[in-house]
Amino acid sequence: MIDDSQIYQMIQTALKMRERSYCPYSHYAVGTALLTKDGQIFGGCNIENIAFGPSNCAERTSFFKAISDGHKEFVGIAIAGGPAGKEPLEYCTPCGVCRQVMAEFCHEDFSIIMAKTDSDYKIKTLGELLPDSFSPHGQVGVQSQEESEEKKEE
């Protein structure tokens, strides 16, 4: 469960990260703040490339930063996005690829906070945004890395 002070801190981080976005092609700036189970926050922004394929969404930037620092348990993510240099007019939701990355590392109750400002936001769960997901959590015959490593140790 994420408390109100964590939500505020996450949204503030996402708004700050949005300002660091590199989006010269879409002009759509996104910032994120990923909260780990132990309370650390990893910020991210979208980073575009002229070829578009090598571009990276802000959500995945946060996840990849946290995972590369050794974190694999997450509680929630705050997302703030909209036209670069302007106030967001709508809530920014994660794209399908980012939802799939979230499903790889998070359970259905993972919180996704979509914010326009630190006082105007809505919260959904991963299960609401990606129902019946294809993930290592509950797929028959699919084992997570941790489960595979545990079996090796036996």
Tens-place pLDDT, residues 46-98: 999 999 999 999 999 999 999 999 999 999 999 999 999 999 889 999 999 99
Name the residue type at position 27.
H
Active site residues: 59
pLDDT band at 137 (very low <50, low <70, confident <90, very high): confident
Round to whole Å and give the CA distance between 6 and 9.
Answer: 5
Does the pLDDT of residue 153 top 80, yes or no? no
Residue 1: the pLDDT is: 80
Does the pLDDT of residue 113 top 80, yes or no? yes
Residue 25: the pLDDT is: 98
Residue 152: Cβ within 10 Å count: 7
Does the pLDDT of residue 133 top 90, yes or no? no
Considering only residues 140 and 126, tell me which one the structure prediction assigns the higher pLDDT: 126
Residue 26: Cβ within 10 Å count: 14
Domain locations along the chain: 4-153
Residue 63: the pLDDT is: 99
φ, ψ (nearest 5 deg) of residue 130? -140, 70
> What pTM, to 2 d.p., does this model score?
0.89
The per-residue pLDDT for range 13-44, each reduced to its tens digit, is 999 999 999 999 999 999 999 999 999 999 99
CATH placement of domain 4-153: 3.40.140.10
Residue 148: the pLDDT is: 59
Check if the beta carbon of residue 58 is closer than 8 Å to that of residue 46. yes
For 88-92, which contacts have Cβ atoms below 8 Å and span 24 or more sequence positions?
88/115, 88/116, 88/117, 89/116, 90/116, 91/115, 91/116, 91/121, 91/122, 92/30
DSSP 120: S
